[in-house]
Amino acid sequence: MRTVLLSKHDELYLEKCAQENQFSYGIIVGHQADLTKSVVVHLARNNEEDADLEDLSEVRLTISDINSQALASQWLSASKMCPGSFDVIGIFVSSVRSDVVNEQSAEFKNAKKLFSDIYDLLLKSNSSFGVYTTDIAQTDFVFLSYSLADKKVLCKNYSYGNGGTFTNMEFRFVDKPFEWIQLECSYDFDDVLPILDSSRRVNIEDQFQSMIVSVRKNLLASEVFLQNEVVEDTIDLQAYIKKKKTKVDKLQPTSTTGGTATASSNTTDSLPRLASEGIIGGTETIRASIVLPMKCQLSKPTDIKVREFSGTLHMSGIITSKVFCNPRNSIADVKRFLRDDVLRSLITRIQVYCDGLTDPYVTNEALYISEPPRRVFFSLPSEGPSASVGAVVQFSEYLFRGEAPTVVVAQAKQILDVDLDPETISVEAEGLPDDTHFNNCKMDADCIDDSGIMTSSMPKPELSRSLYMVGIAVALLVLLSSVALHFVLAER
């Protein structure tokens, strides 16, 4: 049975939602720590119905009144803002009434239908550009219900299929903050895909779809290195960090002032916590690199053949990836989170870009440059006691060229129910898209085109010979100058 771990801050948030609105609902952003534990990272109230709720507060007080479309929209938007190690794992409701925590009430039974509706909406939206994960899509979700009257929380696991079922799920409010370890990766695109469409007008959305499929296929076959070394998949992140710390300590034998021998947490109430002094994960970011296999076809060798094309799709630039993992995550999970983050970010920015297109067909111009929005990062503002230690969790949003960070502020408020300061938004992870790269390619091609001769792989021995000749010429010049000077002096 899975256990859901919440922080004290989450409990306060649920109480606050009930006090302010009498009935609130929203999404649960969580993290799969291991096979048995899910950590709640963030609770976000749905704010799309705020105005209506004030006027119709007596009517919209039940689960059946929840707008599933609005909730699915929030769910989808939040998924795009999450790093690869997090995802929306369920729904919460918070009410002043007590029947929301009563399993026998009719109110509770409506939650099953709500989940089913939302799941169907998510499936429909995912079919447009593909799934956001390189792993199996989840079919189990968390339903969290809070009653202000009873000060009680009900937690259930919802499984999709056969009409949907609720099963019991343990939950626990944890006093100690969760620990996060940050991993970063910068995925560099430099791919040229042929446009095999024989029609004159190119549907750019179809081409983007092919591009995403290609990238996803490559990511599935990729390998991930941590700190530029091969790490075994079966160990957990905590063991890896300890190994790295031991290695660092051996390299620095003089640093014996640590002395933190006490392991504080043997309790079952919280996840194991490493000593904060000297933790690599606590103070440093682990850099990862993604390595792709170089094969013409990863799965269909029989499709290798010559194909004609009349256009190309050239991808250039980077996708910055940041994921936040729990020390108990296995390295295999960490690698999967990184892959998911790259894929999710790619799909999100393509989707946001295509939503803004007025015409999906490319004109007959020789060169048509698309600038998807770039990724920016922000941290959740801390209120009261800190909910986590180690790395500060960051979410992301996407800005087009020329857009101001205030767009991110509004989106964060609407989707994640947080108030951001525009100055705290980090826009430096990715630079503005660079158009000169495509022009440079053309210039390089033009330069190479001038030399029609097949260049030899042998080094040019004439170069050394010419240097010898220059040296000899200089020596002769010096000699002649000396002789002339000698004669001039002799005449005097």
Which residues within the stretch 320-379 sit at the binding site for other proteins (CB under 8 A)? 320, 346, 349, 362, 364-372, 374-375
407 is a site residue for other proteins (CB under 8 A): no
Tracing tokens 């070394």 back to the chain, one arrives at 229
**Interface positions, 11-70, toward other proteins (CB under 8 A):** none
Question: What is the nearest approach in angstroms of other proteins to the Cβ of residue 488?
Answer: 38
Question: What is the nearest approach in angstroms of other proteins to the Cβ of residue 436?
Answer: 9
Q: How many residues bind other proteins (CB under 8 A)?
A: 84
Whichever of 233 and 277 has its CB closer to other proteins, that residue is: 233
Q: Read out DSSP for 400-411?
A: -TT--THHHHHH
Whichever of 276 and 310 has its CB closer to other proteins, that residue is: 310
Among 55, 229, 359, 491, binds other proteins (CB under 8 A): 229
Tracing tokens 């004439």 back to the chain, one arrives at 462
230 is a site residue for other proteins (CB under 8 A): yes
Return the closest-CA partner of residue 228 out of 291, 312, 295, 162.
291
Instruction: Give the Cα separation of 76 and 492 in Å (integer).
Output: 98
Question: What is the nearest approach in angstroms of other proteins to the Cβ of residue 415?
Answer: 22
Question: What is the nearest approach in angstroms of other proteins to the Cβ of residue 121?
Answer: 28
Contact (Cβ atoms closer than 8 angstroms) between residue 40 and residue 28: yes
Question: What is the nearest approach in angstroms of other proteins to the Cβ of residue 28?
Answer: 30
Task: Report CA-CA distances (Å) from 300 to 217, 295, 304.
Answer: 12, 11, 8
Question: What is the nearest approach in angstroms of other proteins to the Cβ of residue 325?
Answer: 18
Contact (Cβ atoms closer than 8 angstroms) between residue 26 and residue 416: no
**Interface positions, 71-100, toward other proteins (CB under 8 A):** none
Question: What is the nearest approach in angstroms of other proteins to the Cβ of residue 345?
Answer: 9
Tracing tokens 């014996």 back to the chain, one arrives at 256
Strand 23-32, strand 86-95: pairing: antiparallel
CB atoms within 10 A of CB 192: 10
User: Which long-range contacts (C-beta less than 8 Å, at least 24 apart) are formed by 45-49?
Assistant: 45/17, 45/21, 45/94, 45/417, 46/70, 46/71, 46/74, 47/413, 47/414, 47/417, 48/73, 48/74, 48/414
Q: Give the distance from CA 326 to its chain's centroid.
A: 16
User: Which long-range contacts (C-beta less than 8 Å, at least 24 apart) are formed by 426-432?
Assistant: 426/376, 426/377, 426/378, 426/394, 427/376, 427/399, 429/320, 429/322, 429/375, 429/376, 429/377, 430/317, 430/318, 430/319, 430/320, 430/374, 430/375, 430/376, 431/374, 432/374, 432/401
**Interface positions, 270-329, toward other proteins (CB under 8 A):** 287-297, 304-320
Question: What is the nearest approach in angstroms of other proteins to the Cβ of residue 352?
Answer: 12
Question: What is the nearest approach in angstroms of other proteins to the Cβ of residue 369?
Answer: 5
Whichever of 3 and 222 has its CB closer to other proteins, that residue is: 222
Whichever of 254 and 456 has its CB closer to other proteins, that residue is: 456
Alpha carbon distance, N-terminus to C-terminus of the chain: 110
Whichever of 273 and 375 has its CB closer to other proteins, that residue is: 375
Whichever of 291 and 473 has its CB closer to other proteins, that residue is: 291
What is the CB-side half-sphere exposure of residue 274 using CA atoms within 13 A?
23
Contact (Cβ atoms closer than 8 angstroms) between residue 255 and residue 249: yes
Q: Taking CB under 8 A as the rule, which mask of x and - marks residues 425-464 in contact with other proteins?
A: ---xxxxxxxx-xx-----xx--xx--x-xxxxxx-x---
Contact (Cβ atoms closer than 8 angstroms) between residue 63 and residue 129: no
Whichever of 159 and 297 has its CB closer to other proteins, that residue is: 297
Q: Taking CB under 8 A as the rule, which mask of x and - marks residues 175-214 in contact with other proteins?
A: ----------xxxxx--x-xx------x-x--xx--x---
The stretch near other proteins (CB under 8 A) out of 15-23, 136-144, 165-173, 225-233 is 225-233
SS3 240: helix
Whichever of 145 and 321 has its CB closer to other proteins, that residue is: 321
Whichever of 103 and 190 has its CB closer to other proteins, that residue is: 190
Task: Report CA-CA distances (Å) from 369 to 36, 314, 423, 438.
Answer: 47, 9, 30, 9
Whichever of 138 and 312 has its CB closer to other proteins, that residue is: 312
Contact (Cβ atoms closer than 8 angstroms) between residue 130 and residue 212: yes
Whichever of 44 and 215 has its CB closer to other proteins, that residue is: 215
Whichever of 232 and 249 has its CB closer to other proteins, that residue is: 232
The stretch near other proteins (CB under 8 A) out of 75-83, 121-129, 157-165, 222-230 is 222-230
Question: What is the nearest approach in angstroms of other proteins to the Cβ of residue 330?
Answer: 15
Question: What is the nearest approach in angstroms of other proteins to the Cβ of residue 334?
Answer: 15
Instruction: Give the Cα separation of 391 and 251 in Å (integer).
Output: 25
Question: What is the nearest approach in angstroms of other proteins to the Cβ of residue 5?
Answer: 32
